Chains A and B, each alone.
Chain A
Amino acid sequence: MKSKGLTKVDLIFESIDAKEVLAKAFSMTPEEIINQVLESGLKGRGGAGFPTGMKWKFTAAEKDPEKYIVCNADEGEPGTFKDREILDRVVYKVYGGMAIAGKAMGAKKGYIYLRGEYRFLLPQLYLELHKFQKMIAEIGYDFTIEYRMGSGAYICGEESALFESIEGFRGEPRNKPPYPTTSGLFSKPTSINNVETLVTAMMIIAKGPQEYVKLGTKDSRGSKVFSISGDTPIPGIFELELGMTVQEFVNEFGDGDTKAVQVGGASGFCVPRKKFEDTIIGFEGVPTGGSMKLFNSSRSMYNVLHNYLDFFTEESCGQCTPCRVGCQQLLKGVEKVKKGEAKSTYLNELVKLADTMKVASKCGLGQSVGNAFRSIVENFREEIIY
């Protein structure tokens, strides 16, 4: 596979004349908006990577006059902090993206679900919201946005758990189907999109999809904001074109001694040094919601794995057995192997358990514990055992 190389981009944080872009969007038909987003190839930036244009199209096709656009600002994946920066610096583009989505789907109301850890941002976000509501009133468009707060539960980033939380219940994921586009918030057709997805959609309308498709690869169009942390001399938030290899990424952000990169947070994949060259960061290789953690050779991958399992054990909502019990068993299991209380071959049993969790768990949390588990255990087996 040919790589695109590493290129810095400035799209998400670029300032634009929001009023002009929105006036343009509101003069388009819903089909025109949806077609432009489809043409751009934009896939959701929250992790799962569902084509945004399709989501809007499905929601638009529903007959119910009451629909919602929900912005997922729960940002709980360990190692992700780009949505906070986007909200902090260009929240007017988040509001703009929601209004455009609203126009495309026929939704008059939007909700933003903001994680409780980001409550300190609220005064400033409300100030900007006030300005925004005034601006769209001037354009003569009817659309309102409200905030709802999280209260420290990672699972509430999962879309159906997030709806439960807004509705005033425990954040326990729902069965799917029905999907949110037919029955989401308050059982109404709903499009739920990540903060960055909404900003990107607005930029696609601003610049035109032809401009946007120049960036990225066939499977991963455009650019993406990365949250970079761990053993790097330059931790922070960087917008990069999609399609680079992990090696190119490490050349730019590593400290010269990188032994592994965890792509996509605790629910993502661990890429070891020997695979840096042939792994593309994007949907054709390792997908990511933006979390990139670098580990150098001084780090114990056992500690990394243990920390992730501890995280999942705490954050599992406990609703279904494979995930609730599975997380605990994986955690206890690696501890036993480490202490020598179980043979190293026991790790194979644990990998099987993680695979079972992938098929038997109800939601993405339980289904993705195996990603980090398998990729760390397979690539750093000795570090787990000794």
Chain B
Amino acid sequence: MYQTGNMVKELADKYGRKRESLMPILQDIVKKHNYLTDEAMVEVATELDISAAEVYGTASFYTFLDTEERGKNVIRVCKTITCSMKGKNDVISTLEEILKIKVGQTTPDKMFTLLETNCIGWCHKAPAMLVNDMPYTDLSSETVIDVIKGYMRK
């Protein structure tokens, strides 16, 4: 859980209070906190003067607008065909081993969430994954460990 403080109000000042402001506001909250709490969504609804159900209904449509608690670093490994053919399963099992969680779970220290996703547009350098916004490509069991170690130090 996180506290939104003045964030929602500031975002509404920045993006406006129209319906079309909703996505940019939700996206910025997720960029900062990685998921949407019920409180944050209610605050957004109040700022934009729409019902909280509208906000939740919109957010829940979009995979990247998570409404479940996520770790500080969200890992999304591509599971579409090329990555799947080129070793995505090895990448997943290595991640599960070093993070000691399964796909869909968050580490107890809330540092990492491990997810799968559909094609992220790096098929020519498969297998690929995103950590937050950053793509990592041509992954192997070895290189994926280096990537994650980098985030452990941050």
Residues of A within 8 A of B (CB): 75-81, 84, 115-120, 148-154, 165-172, 186, 227-231, 235-237, 266, 293, 299, 303-304, 307-308, 311, 314-315, 317
Contacts and interface: CB of A to CB of B under 8 A. Distances in A.
Contact of B85 (A154, A166, A230): A230
B124 interface: yes
Interface of B: 18-24, 26-27, 30, 57-58, 61-65, 79-82, 84-85, 117-126, 130, 133-135
B20 A80 contact: no
Contact of B63 (A152, A172, A231, A311): A152
Contacts of A119: 133
A227 B123 contact: yes
B13 to A, nearest CB: 17
Given A79-B123, A167-B19, A120 B118 contact: no
B118 A78 contact: yes
B62 A230 contact: no
Contacts of B22: 168
4 A-B pairs with least C-beta separation: A152-B63, A151-B62, A235-B124, A152-B64
Given A78-B123, A231-B85, A307-B80, 14 more contacts: A78-B80, A79-B82, A116-B64, A117-B130, A120-B133, A151-B23, A151-B30, A153-B62, A168-B22, A168-B23, A169-B58, A229-B82, A237-B124, A314-B118
27 contacts: A78-B123, A79-B123, A115-B121, A116-B27, A118-B121, A120-B133, A120-B134, A149-B23, A150-B62, A151-B30, A153-B61, A165-B23, A167-B19, A167-B20, A168-B22, A168-B23, A169-B58, A170-B61, A229-B82, A231-B85, A236-B124, A237-B124, A303-B84, A307-B79, A307-B80, A307-B84, A314-B118
Contacts of A170: 57-58, 61
Contacts of B81: 78-79, 230, 266, 293, 303-304, 307-308
B61 to A, nearest CB: 4
Contacts, number: 115
B140 to A, nearest CB: 16
Contacts of A237: 124
B130 A229 contact: no
Nearest to B62: A151
B122 A81 contact: yes
